[in-house]
Amino acid sequence: MTAAAAIGSGRGIPLFLDFFYKLRARGLKVSAHNWLALLDAIARGLHGSTLDGFYTVARCILVNDEGDYDGFDLAFAETFRGVVADLEHMVSQLDEWLRDPKQLMHLDPAMLEQLEQIGLEELRRQLLERLAEQKERHEGGNRWVGTGGTSPFGQGGMHPSGVRMGGRGGGRSALAVADARRFRELRKDLVIDTRQMGMALRRLRRLERKGGLEELDIDGTVDETARNCGDLEIVMRPPRKNDVRMLLLLDVGGSMDPHAELVSRLFSAAHQHGGFKELESYYFHNCVYSRVYEDAAFTKPVTIDSLLRRTDSNWYLVLVGDAWMHPGELMMTSSSFWSLEAAPSGLRCLAKLADHFPKSAWINPEPPRLWEAPTISEIRRLFEMVPLTLDGLGDLVENMRTPPRPVRRSQIAKILRDRE
């Protein structure tokens, strides 16, 4: 059940909980662990009885990646704007909510599962213990969590508009801070620089011990020496090296011109930071036909067949292109008029590549909203397509590590089976 539906059913969702839903809706991975830690911090009065304090404390506990700061700001502003008067009830609602576990029915399944791992009773007990602790410790104070009209949010310290201004004079209010969206440029779904791309690509690495014996294996030496009754037995082993081989096919010219700068960054990232055992890159225009080119000027052709002979299915294949073309170009057989009969169509060439390289993906610099175009969606049935953003490269790494889905495999097989 969604938060909105729960409100509709008349039960009312505490503001505090609503805040969590909003965070999760913004893609923040807020877990029950974080949530308990935040309760702990509030129970200890770390937020200093102000919304500003709450903003800072909540952010440092709930967010663990600067890319999520912007999402946090948005969720915070959305939750606390206009309902600031309700702040007084926020924590008392939370308390009430915990006393009535039935309300946990409103939680979404993922969070409920996490809560169940901790144990509902345990959670309640922990919180109530803290509540009791606070009451004793801060008797007469106004910091403790609880019901009965005492608020953790600065009773009597509230600004007329409901937002208390910054602790030390001149501070900005939490809402103003959240609204400023200072961390917008840290979002991970934006386009990225060479180094960041390189770091993302490095996650593809697979370290393996191969090659000459160059390194002293201390554990092995100790083990063998002990077996050898203390007579020293040196064991050597090959050093760990990255064993990933990568084939990069880049679309250049025409509709790719606006993306040239970005693609060249990706290219240099793969070369400088990728650390691949082997990296080969070739160029194509619009669609891959029976040959690709070693240079961007298309003077040194290499046939796909010879490429496939030299590489095996352990290679990673990454195609970079906008996949944006006239449908005819995808079905067209070859750029060469004379080889019309022999050459397979562009789609068939792509299927051949997808079939040969189970670990493959397509990076599209165009934003995903344009991917419904006919040729793009046709290509997406063959290759997992990701945008050229940091998130996109992260997905790429994940995709390439898992085998292709059956539906993809059968589509590839179907194209290869079809007679032209």
Task: Find the shortest distance in angstroms from Cβ 125 to another protein.
Answer: 18
Q: Are strands 316-320 and 278-284 parallel, antiparallel or unpaired?
A: unpaired
Residue closer to another protein (CB basis): 64 or 161: 64
Smaller CB separation from another protein, 268 or 311: 268
Q: Which residues bind another protein (CB under 8 A)?
A: 29, 31, 33-34, 37, 40-41, 44-46, 53, 56-57, 59-61, 63-66, 69, 166-168, 171, 182-183, 186, 193-195, 199, 202-203, 218, 222, 225, 230, 232, 394
Between 59 and 359, CB nearer to another protein: 59
Cβ-based nearer residue to another protein, 34 or 134: 34
For residues 103 and 279, give the distance between their C-alpha atoms in angstroms, rounded to a whole number.
Answer: 55
Query: CA geometry: angle at 163 spanning 155 and 172, to 5°?
Result: 125
Give all strands (DSSP E) within 173-289, no chain letters: 207-209, 215-216, 236-237, 240-242, 245-251, 278-284
**What's at 31, amino acid-wise?**
S
Q: How far is the CB of 56 from another protein (least distance, A)?
A: 4
Burial 14-35 (b: 16+ CB within 10 A, else e): bbbbbbbbbbbebebebbbebb
φ, ψ for residue 250 (rounded to 5)? -115, 130
Between residues 40 and 395, which has the closer beta carbon with respect to another protein? 40
Q: How far is the CB of 87 from another protein (least distance, A)?
A: 19
- Report d(CA 130, CA 218) in Å as an integer: 50
Q: Of the two residues 232 and 407, which places its CB atom closer to another protein in the complex?
A: 232
CB of 4 to another protein, least distance (A): 28
| Closest to 126 in 3D by CA, of 249, 35, 206 | 35
- The nearest distance, CB 305 to another protein, in angstroms, is 37
| Least distance between another protein and beta carbon 46 (Å) | 5
For another protein, the closer CB: 253 or 394: 394
Residue at token pair 């709930």:
62
Tell me how far, at minimum, the Cβ of 222 lies from another protein, in Å.
5
CB of residue 183 to another protein, shortest distance in Å:
7
Tally of CA atoms within 13 A in the half-sphere of 276 that contains its CB: 23
**Shorter beta-carbon distance to another protein: residue 149 or 230:** 230
Burial 257-276 (b: 16+ CB within 10 A, else e): eebeebbebbbebbeebbbb
